[in-house]
Amino acid sequence: MNAPARAIRSRYVAPIPAFADAFTAARSSLPGKEAPAIQDWRQLHFDRFLETGLPTPRVEQWKYTNIARAANVPMALATRPNVGLGDVQRYFTGGPLARRLIFVNGHLASELSHVRGLPQGVRVESLGKLLQDEPEWSARALGGPAEPHSFADLNAAFLQSGAWIELGDGAVLEHPLQLLFLTVGQPAAVMAHPRIVVRLGKEARLHLIETHIGLAPGHCLTNLVGHYELGEKARLTHDRLQLGSAGTSFVGLNRQRLAERAELKQTLATLGGALVRNETDLHLVGSFVEAQLNGVYMPIGEEHVDNVIRIHHEAPDGHSDQFYKGVMDDRAHAAFAGKIIVHQDAQRTNAFQRNDNLLLSDDAEISSKPELEIYADDVKCSHGATCGELDRTALFYLRSRGLDRAQAESILTFAFAAEVIERFVDPAVRKLARECLVARTPGGAGLSDLL
């Protein structure tokens, strides 16, 4: 082994042999198992995963989440537990005309899904089915390895299901498309590796709702990869809600590429899960792109939430806005690291970032790290991070109207986080998020009238 590789090794740990065992066991059952193109594609990524290893907190991107400790454990590929319509209906969002793909522990539940009758130019497919039915095409379409990424590589190796969403030039899906990922925790650790691919052609428009719901406590690590390509003037509204149950974990990597005048509005709420990590790698490759990333996280107990965002302004006149808020209670830990990189050509970039946090307990913790890297000279960039207690003036205002201190604190805590929840575009997502928010707010029982 040469010197640089050794240096990398010291910041990564070798995966335990259980991964190789799981890979050997799974490859004969995963979709595309008969096709050499898929087999090779999986093997390539798995080999690279073994070579890279799992990151320790010495890797900058993983500074706040010791994923090697959490994920370098024996995990079998999750099997599909039985879930019926009655268990999931309350998580249906997007209105009565929404299309829906439903996954249970990483397996497509086709009998619960509904994606028929799509308009011209809109293609929504099960990724598992594509791997099985069109392996050569799939292997090409999914592409070769980009730069190494432990979890993206692991996802490719074990890829079992997901959604392939493609809208041709000018195609519009009027009603939302919901991807509903259900996790049923298991007594022994298991893992699931779904993937979302979204390709929007010129002027295409999509409202995507991505909900991750924990139906039962127990173990399950969901390792999600999302690839988003937005063509010229394409518009994507992306509501993302994460309601993991006790013991379930989530690791996600989203890569987004936005062409000229494309618009992305993403809102993400993390309101449950033992360990949740959301990594975003957003590239503004065309000029005049508008990208808005809203987020809120509210870990309780010993939950851990980590948001890592890199925004690359690669072309002129782009506008990006990050607005993240966090409320940490008990012994919870949250981290927010947002980096804005403005390339030399990206003149007249506007890039903003805010991260406001509220600590409700002395044992709760927040690590907030804003970063700017600017190579252009004509840009407007700003970042601000705050961490504190409830606003005293607001507290006084509520109490002066007769609410006691506890009630006033509940309302203000709710309101602090609700400011982001209000940015969800779909009303049903907003309602679900508000319910979870109330349940997590100290004294929340008294806020039920807010729902």
422 near other proteins, rule: CB under 8 A: yes
| Binding residue for other proteins, selected from 415, 428, 429, 432, defined by CB under 8 A | 415
Task: Report whether 243 contacts 297 (CB < 8 A).
Answer: no
Cα angle for residues 53, 58, 60 (degrees, 5° grid)? 95
Nearest Cα neighbor of 275 from 312, 307, 248, 309 is 248
Neighbouring C-beta atoms of residue 386, cutoff 10 Å: 11
- For 9-73, the three-class secondary structure string (H helix, E strand, C coil) is HHHEECCCCHHHHHHHHHCCCCCCCCCHHHHHHHHHHHHHHHHHCEECCCCHHHCCCCHHHHHCC
> Rounded to whole angstroms, how far apart are CA atoms 339 and 372?
6
Q: What mask of x and - would describe binding to other proteins in positions 339 to 358, judged by CB under 8 A?
A: --------------------
> Rounded to whole angstroms, how far apart are CA atoms 198 and 122?
11
Nearest Cα neighbor of 377 from 353, 346, 402, 405 is 346
- Pick 28 or 393: Cβ nearer other proteins: 393
Q: How many helices (H) and strands (E) are present in the chain, helices listed first?
A: 11, 23
Name the one range near other proteins by CB under 8 A: 123-131, 279-287, 348-356, 388-396. 388-396
Position 344, amino acid: Q
Task: Report whether 325 contacts 416 (CB < 8 A).
Answer: yes
- Pick 21 or 422: Cβ nearer other proteins: 422
| Binding residue for other proteins, selected from 421, 429, 432, 436, defined by CB under 8 A | 421
CB of residue 417 to other proteins, shortest distance in Å: 7
Task: Report whether 396 contacts 363 (CB < 8 A).
Answer: no
- Pick 60 or 404: Cβ nearer other proteins: 404
Question: Please, which of residues 172-231 interact with other proteins by CB under 8 A?
Answer: none
CB of residue 269 to other proteins, shortest distance in Å: 13
Question: Please, which of residues 430-449 interact with other proteins by CB under 8 A?
Answer: 449
292 near other proteins, rule: CB under 8 A: no
CB of residue 400 to other proteins, shortest distance in Å: 5
Task: Report whether 214 contacts 183 (CB < 8 A).
Answer: yes
269 near other proteins, rule: CB under 8 A: no
CB of residue 420 to other proteins, shortest distance in Å: 9
| Binding residue for other proteins, selected from 414, 424, 429, 432, defined by CB under 8 A | 414
Question: Please, which of residues 367-386 interact with other proteins by CB under 8 A?
Answer: none
417 near other proteins, rule: CB under 8 A: yes
- Pick 1 or 451: Cβ nearer other proteins: 451
CB of residue 81 to other proteins, shortest distance in Å: 36
- Pick 137 or 396: Cβ nearer other proteins: 396
CB of residue 350 to other proteins, shortest distance in Å: 22
> Rounded to whole angstroms, how far apart are CA atoms 31 and 37?
12
CB of residue 393 to other proteins, shortest distance in Å: 6
Secondary element (H or E) of residue 267: strand 263-270
CB of residue 179 to other proteins, shortest distance in Å: 27
**Which sign does the torsion angle of CA 42, 43, 46, 52 carry?**
negative
> Rounded to whole angstroms, how far apart are CA atoms 179 and 174?
16
Instruction: Count interface residues toward other proteins (CB under 8 A).
Output: 28
- Pick 6 or 401: Cβ nearer other proteins: 401
CB of residue 422 to other proteins, shortest distance in Å: 6
Tokens of 197: 């691919």
- Pick 182 or 408: Cβ nearer other proteins: 408
Tokens of 38: 């898929």
Name the one range near other proteins by CB under 8 A: 24-32, 39-47, 75-83, 413-421. 413-421
Cβ within 8 Å of residue 51, ≥6 positions away: 148
| Binding residue for other proteins, selected from 419, 425, 431, 444, defined by CB under 8 A | 419
> Rounded to whole angstroms, how far apart are CA atoms 69 and 434?
33
CB of residue 395 to other proteins, shortest distance in Å: 9
- Pick 171 or 421: Cβ nearer other proteins: 421
Task: Report whether 248 contacts 273 (CB < 8 A).
Answer: yes
Question: Please, which of residues 392-411 interact with other proteins by CB under 8 A?
Answer: 392-394, 396-405, 407-408, 411
CB of residue 276 to other proteins, shortest distance in Å: 22
Tell me which residues touch other proteins (CB under 8 A).
Answer: 391-394, 396-405, 407-408, 411-412, 414-419, 421-422, 449-450
